[in-house]
Amino acid sequence: MSLARLLVCLTLLFMVAGCTRRSAAPPGQKATIQPVVTPEAPPHPAELAQDAAASVAPPVSRKTAEASGKTAADTPAETPAKTDDALGRERFLLFLPAAPLLVELRMTIDGQPFADAREQLVDDALKLADHDGDGRATWEEIYSDPKRAFAARFDVQTRNVLRKEFLKTYDTNQNGLLDRDEARRIVSRAKSAGDAFSLAGTTEYRHANRRQSIVRVMLDANGDDLLDAAELAGAPVRLRVRDANNDHLVSWDELDDSLAGDRQAMSARQDAYFNQPAALRLGPRASWDGIIYALAEIYLSSDEIPDDASPLLKSLADRLDADHDGHLSYDEARMLDAVEPHLVLAANFGRSGDLLSGVSLVRAAEILGPESDLVSHLPNGLLLRLADYRLQILMDDRQGADVKTAAEAQFEMLDKDKNSYLEKTDLGDSSPELARIFDEADADADGKLYLHELLAYQRRQQPQTTAIQAVAQDDQDVLFALLDANHDDRLTKRELQAAREVLLALDADGDERISLAELPGSMTLWLGRGMPSDMSQPRRRTAAPPPLPAGPDWFVFMDENRDQEISLDEFPGTAEKFRALDLNGDGFISLSEAHRTMD
């Protein structure tokens, strides 16, 4: 029996049996285990297998890359090695059209497992709630605190709230103690910080991003659903017409202000009712009923897996049916927690230390193909080519390392005697803001403010910097995503000039025409940190803001649109002078060429 039939049977059994844990089995037959999960359940064998799996590999280190003479963009994955770094790992399924993709994501913040930063805030909360220092943080101490220190920091309402109602609201297990799980929830609610890791996703545009592609509709002048040779040749001009502000860039907003955009939005709204998940989380917090239902709903057209099902889907079925009995039990489905993932990614936020900054590929399953054909590097992430599908993995670190660097610079400037700590007398009038928060930041109240105390104080004031949010979504317009090589939501003049060649690369049958069937699917997995959780809705645009101008003063002055290069249209001098600066003769003065002219 195929995996498809097994999943359908399992779903139907669950719907009928409801909360039944195990169905009765006729003599000589295997019972089907029903999906019932209770919070008090002991660790599942699949979870233990995951912790013991020897196939887990650490992120590629910066030292390894430098020793080999390679950069983050061309460093291959290291040999897998065992690690117990469970706080830094999350697993989830990406629901691509052809098959689910099993992903393991390893994350760090300032070189440490990402959950460590949040747990430090939880420790702070427990300590702040223990006023009498007896080692027991209680809700009564929080409620009766006249200074409201805990309440003010974590947005807990104590004023004008009856004690009984207060305890009913916050003491979820009614034991009088601020338990660690309760402290985690309080920290996650403070300033809309969100959980230490959260995953969201939507397939809202899955059925619209090809036929209703705004770019495709604009280029298809005769409306025959084909982009012919003439339409491809005219692509740069037709797109450039949308440059409303004449800044030599075509932004998504300029394109979206069109009839095609209206039709796409309407189509997406009509499909919203049928929206399927783009990603679901695995591990202890997984909704296994939802995962099993999604597998059956998305990948079955009948009670059998189609004969043309992707090798990826077939191989996953074989790996989950451990006893090869033709049945997929609930326990076997949960082995998604333990089997080898298709992708292992590393995402290092802030200061990465010896690890490579940004997003890097640690390992890819052999079934996905050679790594040289699979991955390309973008300025803020990766592009993976999976058969006829494009998966972009982008990082948006709103906190980054700049805030920490600024704090260190301020600390060093104020520490005039270089004794590695500050006293109030060191501040004088030079930093009234630091003087104001001195006592609160001085955690041990010894009258000395160390750098680590200052950084910890800043972290407490911005709990969202300890939260990583992952959002998976089908790209709204597959062709725009394809043309936007650096994924900044703008088509530069260079990208417009390359439009014909980029689109022709989709011509699988060589007839110099692009049909709907030749357009790839496209999804973006966005990884963000440093913004409140209520600002990271799945439908948000995932582009990073334009980079700040860089380079010699004359280059920065001319680069008004911040695309890090200057075209002849932007250059105020003569064409002869432009050609002298355009060292490779490609029609643009790049930032590297600007630096070379200054040597």
pLDDT per position as a tens digit, 284-329: 999 998 898 888 888 875 556 667 788 898 888 888 888 877 666 7
Percent of the chain predicted with pLDDT > 90? 28
Model confidence at 4: pLDDT above 70: no
Compute the half-sphere exposure of residue 599: CA atoms within 13 Å on the CB side of its CA.
6
Q: How far apart are CA 319 and CA 332, in angstroms?
A: 9
**pLDDT for position 547:** 58
The pLDDT assigned to 332 comes to: 84
Please write the tens of the pLDDT for every residue from 324-369: 776 667 788 899 999 999 999 999 998 887 888 899 999 999 999 9
Per-residue model confidence (pLDDT) at position 569: 80
* pTM assigned to the model: 0.73
Q: Each residue of 516-545: pLDDT tens digit?
A: 989 988 899 999 987 766 554 444 444 445
Residues 6 or more apart whose CB falls under 8 angstroms from that of 263 comprise 212, 217
pLDDT tops 90 at residue 103: yes
Tell me, what's the pLDDT at 101?
Answer: 96
Q: Which stretch of 30-34, 239-243, 562-566 has the lowest confidence by average pLDDT?
A: 30-34
Q: Give the tens place of pLDDT for each residue, 392-405.
A: 999 988 775 555 66
Q: Taking the CA of residue 286 as centre, how many other CA atoms within 13 Å lie in the half-sphere pointing to its CB? A: 27
Q: Alpha-carbon dihedral of residues 72, 75, 76, 79, nearest 10 degrees?
A: -100
Rounded Cα gap, residues 506 and 521, in angstroms: 12
Task: Label the pairing between strands 565-567 and 588-590.
Answer: antiparallel
Question: Is pLDDT larger for residue 4 or for residue 424?
Answer: 424
Q: What counts of helices (H) and strands (E) characterise the chain?
A: 28, 20
**Exposure b/e, 374-409, CB count within 10 A at least 16 = b:** bbebbebbbbbebeebbbbbbbbbbbbeebbeebee
Secondary structure (3-state) at 534: helix
Note the pLDDT tens digit of each residue in 435-493. Answer: 777 877 776 778 888 887 787 777 777 788 899 999 998 888 889 988 988 777 889 88
Question: Rounded CA gap, 296 and 388, in Å?
Answer: 22
Phi/psi for 97 (5° steps) reads: -60, -40
Determine the Cα angle at 469 with ends 464 and 470, to 5°: 170
Cα 337 → chain centroid: 20
Helix (H, G, I), strand (E, B) or coil at 368: helix
User: Under a CB-based contact definition with an 8 Å cutoff, are residues 335 and 321 in contact?
Assistant: no
Displacement of CA 294 from its chain's centroid (Å):
21
